[in-house]
Structure 1
Amino acid sequence: MQFKDIIGQHTIKRHLVQTVRENRVSHAQLFLGPEGSGSLALAVAYAQYINCENPSENDSCGTCSSCRKYQKLIHPDLHFSYPFFASGEKDVATVYMDAWRTAFLGNPYMGLDYWRHQLEAGNKQANINIAEAHDIIKKLSLKAFESEYKVLVLWLPEYLQTQGNALLKLIEEPPEKTLFLLVSENQDGILNTIISRTQLVKIPKLSSDDTKQYLITDKAISEDRANEIAFIADGNLQTAVNLLEEDTHPYFDLLISWLRFVVTDSGLNIIRFCEEDFPRLGRENQKNYLLYTINVFRQVLLMQTRLSQLVLLNGKELDFVQKFSENFKKEQLELAVGLLEKTHYKVERNANPKILFLDLSLQLVLIFKYQTFPQGTQYI
């Protein structure tokens, strides 16, 4: 993996290259970025650059012996740890290494759901067990085979619970020329004792322009379709890839019809929507529709706060955002976004869509029609 192969993130790439060229490589770093931002790919490209035999000013060479092995994820001094769905207490990450290589090389922007699907894990819970922590200690206690640095890329350390305490001494005082690159999506889920021993590298979500350009150039889709997907994905390339595999649905038209019934408190039409239209979408498209609606409401909030230059929509969607921003208050929109996010969370966990969307619709009726706040609802 070379930096040039990673979409966007130019500021982060320059920073990482500079740390190597100025000999300021910290032995333990936490790459913190949302799903689909490229944080895992950046960590691997960084490790490849550090161990490249003929690095340029901006990237690894891609042709030396070290780079060729890195690009296939078979370098003896490159180690990976990640959540897996153990079938026994003694399972470790290397048991699933072939599947990991296939998954990463096919999709370096993958999220946990994608990884779960590769392992056909069903409803099993992901974790990094104590056997894996002990295996990490064993692997990193060995001398480097070929390169100057041994590197451990630990993906999603938030799944390393109290077992992570076994690694504290190793992270704080590693063997010479040993690097820990932790790649996380949720800092709150990581043990504080681990965070305090790492240097933070914050990675932002991808810009809509970067996502759009990738879809047009690499996936050969139309500009209009790329615009729609980039808007819904909101910087998550994994979501964008998922959307490419789904049928096209007129989310905007569906949103307009639904909101018209909500703001007029048209009960029978709301019930019909919740019993027929929403379930017909299927779970993945329900999630995508909710993401689309959340992003539209956020665009309305931008319009209300006089940040129209940040609004990404155009045409009839822009007209809707302008009109909606004139008729409803900021507090109403914030509450609506909070309810939509909670509904999206529950859809992911296979809750009954008819009940979920009916409950959501009725709460939105209270907010938009009667300007009352459902009990227990808090500002986001």
Structure 2
Amino acid sequence: MQFKEITGQETIKEQLLQTVAENRISHAQLFLSCEGSGALPLAIAYAQYINCLDKSPIDSCGVCSSCRKYERYIHPDLHFSYPFFASKDVRTAVDVLEEWRSMLLEDPYFDLDIWRSKLSAENKQANINIAECHDIIKKLSYKAFEGETKVLIMWLPEFLDKEGNALLKIIEEPPKNTLFILVANNQDQILSTLLSRTQIVKIPKLPDAVIENYLVENHGLDTHQAVEYSFLADGNLIEAKLLASNAQNDHADKFADWLRMGYGNRVADLIAFVEQAAGWGRENQKNFLKYGISFLRECSLLLSGAEELVKLPPRTLDTAKKLSAHVLNLNMAEAIISELEQAHYHIERNANPKILFLDVSLQLVKLIKFKTLPKGTQYIYS
């Protein structure tokens, strides 16, 4: 994988290239990012660049023997470690290496749920076990076969339990020309003993404009759809791709209309909406509810007088301002968000969508039309 294949993150790319140019590559690095920011592709591109035989100042060549093997993830000096679901047939990450390579070749932007779907997970918990730690130590004790640098990329070291302490010595005193790259989403869940031995590279969320351009160019969405999905994805390219692949719009107009139906106590329209929503399919139902939660959080910022923090696109912002001025108040918005979060939880667990959307619609009428807030909530008029 080359740097040019990675969406956005130009500043981080320049920073990584500079470490190679100035020969100051830290032997143990932690790429810390939000989900969907491209940390794993960046780690792979960085490793490929380091071992490229004909690198340019801005990228690996992509055609030398090292790059060709990196492109297929079969370079003998490139090793991966990742969470997996142990069984009698799967003891270490190598036992599902073909599935891992297939996942990377299909799309290097993925999360644990997508990875889990490629494996026989059953009801097991993913982890990086002690057998995997011992296998890492064994692999890295060998000399490099072809490249100058052996590389181990560990995806989600948060899944290392205390067994991860077995790696401390080899991380602190690695064999010559060995590079560790840990790719993580949650710093608080990583062993503190590991954190103290790594150099942290913070990778920011992707800007909305970058995701918008990606969706327009790669998924053929119109600008309005791309802006809406970018807002909903909140810097997560994985989420944006899922939204684009399950497109059934327009969430913004549908959600605003739903709120107006509740405000007007338009029962017949609400029942028609429930029938329509029940036929969307679960992914689109989840996306619709997720959009509503995000939209109302932005409305809460408007109601709190923090308009400068609102990220809504212009057309949707105008709708949010009207709803905030004439329909919603802060407590009402928070109560509706709570209802939508519960609905999203139950949709994920295969609740009957017709019953669920009917119940939430009735709750909207109570909250908006009759101003009946949950018990113990003090009502504040906007």
TM-score, with normalisation over the residues of structure 2?
Answer: 0.85
Instruction: Work out the CA distance in 2 between the residues paired with 1:181 and 1:286.
Output: 38
- 1:280 corresponding residue in structure 2: 279
Partner of 1:54, secondary structure, is coil
Cα separation, partners in 2 of 1:274 and 1:215, compared to 1, 3 Å: closer
- Retained in 1: the 8 A contact 2:81–2:154? yes
1:364 shift after superposition: 6.3
Cα separation, partners in 2 of 1:209 and 1:247, compared to 1, 3 Å: closer
Instruction: Work out the CA distance in 2 between the residues paired with 1:59 and 1:348.
Output: 42
Structure 1's unaligned 5+ residue stretches are none
Identity of aligned residues (%): 52
Structure 2's unaligned 5+ residue stretches are none
- 1:74 corresponding residue in structure 2: 74
- 2:293 corresponding residue in structure 1: 294
Partner of 1:281, secondary structure, is coil
- 2:140 corresponding residue in structure 1: 140
Q: Deviations over 1:52-85 (max 9, x none)?
A: 2222222222222221211111111110011122
1:370 aligns with 2:349: no
1:282 shift after superposition: 2.7
Instruction: Work out the CA distance in 2 between the residues paired with 1:348 and 1:190.
Output: 28
Instruction: Work out the CA distance in 1 between the residues paired with 2:172 and 2:354.
Output: 51
- 2:65 corresponding residue in structure 1: 65
- 1:320 corresponding residue in structure 2: 319
Partner of 1:76, secondary structure, is coil
Q: Deviations over 1:86-140 (max 9, x none)?
A: 3327521111111111111211111112212223545543222222121111111
Instruction: Work out the CA distance in 2 between the residues paired with 1:212 and 1:137.
Output: 42
The AA in structure 2 aligned to 1:234 is D
Instruction: Work out the CA distance in 2 between the residues paired with 1:257 and 1:221.
Output: 23
1:335 shift after superposition: 6.0
- 2:204 corresponding residue in structure 1: 204
Instruction: Work out the CA distance in 2 between the residues paired with 1:9 and 1:40.
Output: 12
- Retained in 1: the 8 A contact 2:85–2:121? yes
The AA in structure 1 aligned to 2:295 is V
- Retained in 1: the 8 A contact 2:156–2:185? yes
The AA in structure 2 aligned to 1:142 is Y
Cα separation, partners in 2 of 1:260 and 1:228, compared to 1, 3 Å: same
Instruction: Work out the CA distance in 2 between the residues paired with 1:277 and 1:118.
Output: 32
Instruction: Work out the CA distance in 1 between the residues paired with 2:346 and 2:130.
Output: 30
User: In terms of Rg, which structure is larger?
Assistant: 2
- Retained in 1: the 8 A contact 2:271–2:358? no
- 2:22 corresponding residue in structure 1: 22
Mean Cα deviation higher: 339-348 or 13-22 = 339-348
Partner of 2:182, secondary structure, is strand
Instruction: Work out the CA distance in 2 between the residues paired with 1:204 and 1:33.
Output: 6
The AA in structure 2 aligned to 1:233 is A
Q: Deviations over 1:273-308 (max 9, x none)?
A: 896454433321122112212332243345454545
- Retained in 1: the 8 A contact 2:152–2:181? yes
- Retained in 1: the 8 A contact 2:33–2:185? yes
Mean Cα deviation higher: 290-299 or 326-335 = 326-335
1:349 shift after superposition: 4.7
The AA in structure 2 aligned to 1:81 is S
Partner of 1:110, secondary structure, is coil
1:101 aligns with 2:101: yes
Root mean square deviation, CA, Å: 3.1
1:116 aligns with 2:116: yes
1:165 shift after superposition: 2.2
- Retained in 2: the 8 A contact 1:302–1:311? no
- Retained in 2: the 8 A contact 1:28–1:171? yes
Instruction: Work out the CA distance in 2 between the residues paired with 1:136 and 1:230.
Output: 38
Cα separation, partners in 2 of 1:355 and 1:89, compared to 1, 3 Å: farther
Instruction: Work out the CA distance in 1 between the residues paired with 2:72 and 2:195.
Output: 30
1:192 shift after superposition: 2.2
How many corresponding residue pairs? 375
